[in-house]
Copies of this chain bind each other. A is one copy, B any other.
Amino acid sequence: MLRTIASSPINILLLVAPVSWALAAATPGSPWIFITASASLIPLAGLIGLGTEQLARRAGPAWGGFLNATFGNAAELIIALVALRSGHIELVKASITGSIIGNLLLVLGLAFFVGGLGRRSQTFHRTAATNTSAMLFLGVVALVVPAVFDLALYGSLKAKPPALDRLSLWSAIILIGAYAGSLIYAFTAQRDLFRPTDEGADDGPVFSTAAAVGVLAAGTLLTTVQAEILVGTMEPALARFGFSELFVGVIVIALIGNAAEHYSAVTAARRDEMTLAVEIAVGSSAQIALFVAPALVLYSFAIGRPMSLLFNAFEITAIALSVLATSMVVTDGESNWVEGLQLLSVYLILALAFYFVPHGA
């Protein structure tokens, strides 16, 4: 087990976690605590993924699909839950936005680019890709209706009619219901709608159940600790680097949370397994929209700090454009490195725009 963990070079970043603890003890208020805590979270997302996958293999296809579908974005979820408890609502919504656009533009773009280098073009299974991207689109539509409702009728985000909280809550419940449906489907049809079922099916050894549970528990616990440190020390880091909470959520937190998807998708693309790469990127986004985001809304209502689904107008636009772009790009079932470069260009321009959004807008 330890050999498997040590074999992945990115896991060396796990050693940065104790550094963040030392810094937090020695130099409270230093922006370096935020940076080291961020860095240590990158391999932790992969660790949770490893534990889940090992448990899924032991559990058989039906329960395995269920586990993969539930823990697929566990790291993002944990970071967001911690941020929510500390009242950083804007950060949470920004990280949802960033996770969706990051998976669709950055992860997919990098996969197309790296996979396409030295090849004239690559092909992938078109039906699977458009099917997942349709699920993603429906999830995203349901997710943004409250904010669109507010914008369309009141023309601004300043007006926050009381109906909006109720609409957000109901939307979250309906979305969770639809997601529960997809879990039942995954269980009965033994086919995960969001991730390919054979993902990493035969690489590496199989852990014992105890070891798998242990890795999963340790990963979850450490992720929670590091997320607490990250959120708690964000303020001085923001002040130091001149970033807004929006920018950190959309770009930094999303990059951390999606690191595992990045690694899997890009290596799959390099091996010319584009169907897998596309499914990882698009499926992960769909899961954010259908499960992570509504779960966070429900949790926020449960702890009495209601978070409505009131994304800001530019967040909605960025999400909408990314989802449409992905649908276009996967329809032809073909990619090349220029298409990847273009996806990365759109991501870069959006990231710049988020950087330029005035603080507090």
Contacts and interface: CB of A to CB of B under 8 A. Distances in A.
Interface of A: 120, 126-127, 130-131, 133-135, 137-139, 141-142, 145-146, 148-149, 151-153, 155-156, 161, 163-164, 166-167, 170-171, 174-175, 177-178, 181-182, 185, 189, 191, 193, 312-314, 316-317, 321, 324-325, 327-329, 331-334, 336-339, 341-343, 345-346, 348-350, 352-353, 356-358, 361
Contacts of A358: 153, 161, 163
Contact of A353 (B149, B312, B338): B149
17 contacts: A130-B332, A135-B342, A137-B325, A138-B329, A138-B342, A138-B346, A145-B353, A152-B313, A152-B314, A153-B313, A155-B313, A161-B356, A163-B356, A163-B358, A167-B356, A185-B338, A193-B338
Given A138-B343, A151-B313, A174-B348, 4 more contacts: A120-B189, A155-B155, A182-B338, A327-B328
Contacts of A321: 141, 145, 148
A219 to B, nearest CB: 29
Contacts of A346: 138, 141-142, 145
Contacts of A352: 167, 170-171
A126 B333 CA distance: 10
A183 to B, nearest CB: 9
Contacts of A126: 332
A189 B316 CA distance: 37
A331 B134 contact: yes
Contact of A137 (B167, B193, B324, B357): B324
B134 A345 contact: no
Nearest to A183: B338
Contacts of A182: 338
Contacts of A175: 345
A161 B358 CA distance: 10
A279 B319 CA distance: 28
A43 to B, nearest CB: 31
Contacts of A357: 149, 153
A164 B353 CA distance: 9
Given A145-B350, A146-B353, A339 B153 contact: no
A256 to B, nearest CB: 24
Nearest to A144: B321
A191 B142 contact: no
Nearest to A336: B185
